Structure 1
Amino acid sequence: MTLLDDFALRAALAGLGVALAAAPLGCFVVWRRMAYFGDATAHAAILGVALSLAFAVPVFPAVLAVALAMALTVSALSDRGHGIDTLLGVLAHSALAVGLVAVSFLQGVRIDLMAYLFGDILAVTRGDLVVIWGGALAVLALLYARWGALLTATLSPDLASASGLNPKREARILTLALALVVAVAIKVVGVLLISALLLIPAATARGFARTPEAMAAIAAAVGALSCFGGLAFSFAYDSPSGPSIVCVAAALFCGAALIGALRKPL
C-alpha cells in the first residue's frame, strides 16, 4: 500500500495542483475583467464530457478541445465588434444547455452528472493526479515563460505593441492556459465552480499584494488553503467537497475584505 492509495491524500494533492494552476491565471482574469470569459469556457466543458462519452474517448482531451474552441470563438467574435458582455452571457448559458441536452441523449451510458457539475474530488484516481499535475505544470510553465509579455499586454496594449509584442497573441496564450485549467479542474470543483476558484483567491490576494508576482503567490496560498479547508470541512460535516472548497474561499475573501476595511484610516 502506498501513500497515493489514501483517497484523502489524493484529494488534497488534486486540490493543490488546481490551486497552483488557477491562482496566477486568476490574477489575469481579474486584471482583464474576464470573469464571464471564464464562465463561458467552463460551461462549455460539459459539452466536452458529452462528446467524450459519445465517442468513447478520455474526458480530458475532449474537455480541453471544447473549452479551447469556445475560448477562441469568444475571442474571434469580440474582435469583430460584438458586445462582449452580451456575447459571453449568451455563449456561457447556451454551451451549458447544449451540453446538458447532449448528455440526456446518450443511450446506455450511466453518468453522474452532479460530479461533473460540482466536482468529485474525493473520487480522484492516481491517473487523474497525473493529468491534473501535468496540466498544472504546463500552465505554470506557459505563464512563467510569457509572464512579462502577458503583464505588459494586460496593463497597456499600446505599450505592448510599441515594445514589439502582439497583444492578440498574448490573449491567445491566456486562452490556451484557461482551457487547460478548465480541463484539469473539472474533476475537482466541476464546471459550475471553476470560475469561483479562478476569481476568488485572486480577488482575495489583491488587497494584500504590492506587485503582480506577490498577488499571484498570495492567490496560490489562498487557493491551497481553500482546498485544504474545504476538504476538512467536507470530512467533518459530510458536505459536498467542491462547494465546500468554494465556501471556504468565499469566507477568506470576506475576511480579507473586513481586514482591508479596518486598515483604512477613518
Structure 2
Amino acid sequence: MLDDFVVRGVLAALGTVVATGVLGCFVVWRRMAYFGDAMAHAAVLGVALSLAFSMSIYVGVIITAICIALIFLQLTGAGQTADAALGVLAHSALALGLVIVSLLSGAKLSLSAYLFGNVLSVGTTDLAIIWGGAFVVVGVLWWQWSHLLTATLSPDLAYAAGIDPRRQELLLTILLALVVAVAIKVVGALLITALLIIPASASRQLARTPEGMAVASIIVGTLAAFAGTQASLMFDTPTGPSIVVAAACVFAATTILGRLRA
C-alpha cells in the first residue's frame, strides 16, 4: 500500500505532464524554448516576491510570469530582438529574485525547494491547484486549437483567415505562465522548461499529426512521471530531476527508433 504522500506526488506529476505535454508541442513548434527558460527565471522572482509579501506562491509566480511576458511583447513590438529581450528579462528576473531572497531571513531554504521541486511534499490544496491549472490549459488549447495551429504555421495565413497572431502569442504566453506556476512544486523552476520540451520532442517520432503529437507527448510525460517517481523512491534521488531524466531516456529511445525506421 502506497503512502498518501506518494499518491499525491504521483497525481501532482500526472497533472503537470498533462499541461506541459500539450503546451510543450507549441513550444517546440514555435521554437520557444528560450522563452520557456525566461518564464522559469521569472518564477524565481515570483517565489521571492511571494515569500516577501507572504502570499500564495502560485499567485506570485503567475502574476510575475505574466508581467515578464507582457514586457517581452512590448520590447519586441518596439523593435528589440526577441533573443536580446528574453536574455535581459530572464537574467534580470533571476538576479532580482536572488537579491530579494538574500534580504529575507529564513527564505533561502524555501527558495531551494522551488528551484529543484519537491513533489512528495505536495498537499491536497496543491493537488487541486495543479489539476485545476491543467484543465484550464488543456481546455483553452482545445478551444483555440485551430487558431493557434494556423498562427503557428503562418502568421500571414492567420491574418488572411481573420486571426490575430499577436493575440494567439499572448494567449500562449499566459498559458506558459500558468504552467510554470503549476509545475514549480513538481520539478522546480530550473527544470520546468525540460518538462515542456523533452516529452514533446520525443513524441515527434511517434505521431504524424499535431493532435497525435499532443496525445503522444502526454503519454511520454505520463511514463516519465511514473518511472521518475518510482526511481526516486528506489534510489532516494530528487523526484523532479528523476522525472526529467526518465523523460530524457524516453526521448533517447524514440530518437534511436526513428533512426532505425529511416
Q: TM-score range by the shorter chain?
A: over 0.9
Distance 1:9 1:76 in 2: 43
* Contact 2:14–2:225 (CA under 8 A) maintained in structure 1: yes
Distance 1:175 1:151 in 2: 15
Q: How far did 1:87 drift?
A: 2.2
Q: How far did 1:114 drift?
A: 2.1
Question: Which residue in the other structure is 1:18 paired with?
Answer: 16
Give the letter for the 1:60 counterpart.
Y
Decide which of 163, 166, 169 is 1:165's aligned counterpart: 163
Structure 1 unaligned residues grouped into runs of 5+: none
Pairing 1:70–2:58 present: no
Question: Which residue in the other structure is 2:123 paired with?
Answer: 125
Q: How far did 1:71 drift?
A: 1.4
Q: Deviations over 1:75-97 (max 9, x none)?
A: 22122221212222232222112
Count matched residues. 262
Give the letter for the 2:244 counterpart.
V
Provide the secondary structure at the position in 2 that maps to 1:187.
coil
Question: Which residue in the other structure is 1:113 paired with?
Answer: 111
Question: Which residue in the other structure is 2:208 paired with?
Answer: 210
Quickly say closer, same or farther: Cα 1:49–1:230, change in 2 above 3 A: same
Runs of 4+ in 1 over 4 A off after TM superposition: none
Q: Say which is worse superposed, 73-82 or 59-68, in terms of deviation.
A: 73-82
* Contact 2:148–2:168 (CA under 8 A) maintained in structure 1: yes
What's the % identity of the aligned pairs?
Answer: 56
Normalised to the residue count of structure 1, the TM-score between the two structures is 0.95
Decide which of 17, 31, 34 is 2:32's aligned counterpart: 34
Give the letter for the 1:74 counterpart.
F
Distance 1:118 1:223 in 2: 18
* Contact 1:119–1:191 (CA under 8 A) maintained in structure 2: yes
* Contact 1:223–1:249 (CA under 8 A) maintained in structure 2: yes
Question: Which residue in the other structure is 1:180 paired with?
Answer: 178
Matches within 5 A, 1:216-235: 216-235=214-233
Q: Deviations over 1:85-113 (max 9, x none)?
A: 22222322221121111111113556332
Q: How far did 1:225 drift?
A: 0.9
